[in-house]
Amino acid sequence: MARKKIIAGNWKMNMTPSQAVELINTLKPLVKNDDVDVVFCVPAIDIIPAVEAVKDTNIHIGAENMYFEEKGAFTGEISPEMLVDAGVKYVIIGHSERREYFAETDETVNKKVLKAFEHNLTPIVCCGETLTQREQGVTIDFIRQQIKVAFLNVSAEQAAQAVIAYEPIWAIGTGKVATTQQAQEVCKAIRDCIGEIYDEATAAAIRIQYGGSVSASSAPELFAQADIDGGLVGGASLKADFGQIVNYDK
Ligand code: PGA
């Protein structure tokens, strides 16, 4: 069965609650495409008004992060149950900015992935190499390590539902998009790695996105690759361009 594409916006630390509603109202008519799962991952404080604003549309709301404990004395954190209760379906886990600025590791990513599945949230698990790693030729080894730790103790059934976002760090917010070949090569290596950890069926089911300076002009070729099932889009998800990205095949 063909995998359904999933195209997600990652708003990062942009948009106040009222700006979020305004942006959703602008993008709503532009991101209609029933062949694609469309997700807006928004700042935590925007989630409730965003869920309200996307009612009766094809847009799903995602979170940009969550904590791996159920509840309790973790000042400032957001629990999976809070996300679910607010109407969230997807959650980005282990974005490179979280790893770099907020000390997230492969181990905390794994804890969050397990916790997300416990609550029926679909994790968008991020991985990606630095420019140095790419130049040293260790990209594939490094990504395989990230994936293996992120999926420790995750069942095949769960993994088949997961989304992985391959985002080379050097391509994020830099305007330097990976070449189609580079993106496809790593996404295929990720699928092969999932096949080794689990089985063919799980590898065939899991959805793998490319992220890093995706634009309306680069999306069509990237998303046409055999192992690229959509994108995680930062900057361009805050503009009308996101409508073109979601309708990359039109
Ligand atoms: P970008 O961000 O599209 O602005 O490069 C992508 C991301 O960080 O998810």
Q: Whose CA is nearest to atom 2 of ligand 1?
A: 234
Q: Whose CA is nearest to atom 3 of ligand 1?
A: 234
Q: Kindly report the pTM of this predicted structure.
A: 0.98
Q: Does the annotation count 70 as an active-site position?
A: no
Got the DSSP string for the chain?
-PPPEEEEEE--S---HHHHHHHHHHHTTTT--TTEEEEEEE-GGGHHHHHHHTTTSSEEEEES---SSSSSS-TT---HHHHHHHT--EEEES-HHHHHHS---HHHHHHHHHHHHHTTPEEEEEE---HHHHHTT-HHHHHHHHHHHHTTT--HHHHHH-EEEE--GGGTTSS-PPPHHHHHHHHHHHHHHHHHHS-HHHHHH-EEEEESS--TTTHHHHHTSTT--EEEESGGGGSTHHHHHHTTT-
Q: Does the annotation count 119 as an active-site position?
A: no
- Which own/partner pairs from 98-106 qualify as long-range (CB within 8 Å, at least 24 positions apart)? 98/65, 106/145, 106/146, 106/149, 106/150
Question: What is the pLDDT, as a whole number, of residue 22?
Answer: 98
Question: What is the pLDDT, as a whole number, of residue 1?
Answer: 64
Q: State how far the Cα of 66 lies from the Cα of 54, in Å rounded to an integer.
A: 21
Please list the pLDDT of the chain residue by residue as tens digits (250 residues): 689 999 999 999 999 999 999 999 999 999 999 999 999 999 999 999 999 999 999 999 999 999 999 999 999 999 999 999 999 999 999 999 999 999 999 999 999 999 999 999 999 999 999 999 999 999 999 999 999 999 999 999 999 999 999 999 999 999 888 999 999 999 999 999 999 999 999 999 999 999 999 999 999 999 999 999 999 999 999 999 999 999 999 8
Question: What is the pLDDT, as a whole number, of residue 176?
Answer: 86
Out of 172, 176, 242, mutate this one to test ligand 1's pocket (max ligand atoms within 8 Å of CB): namely 172
Six-digit token string for 44: 């935590």
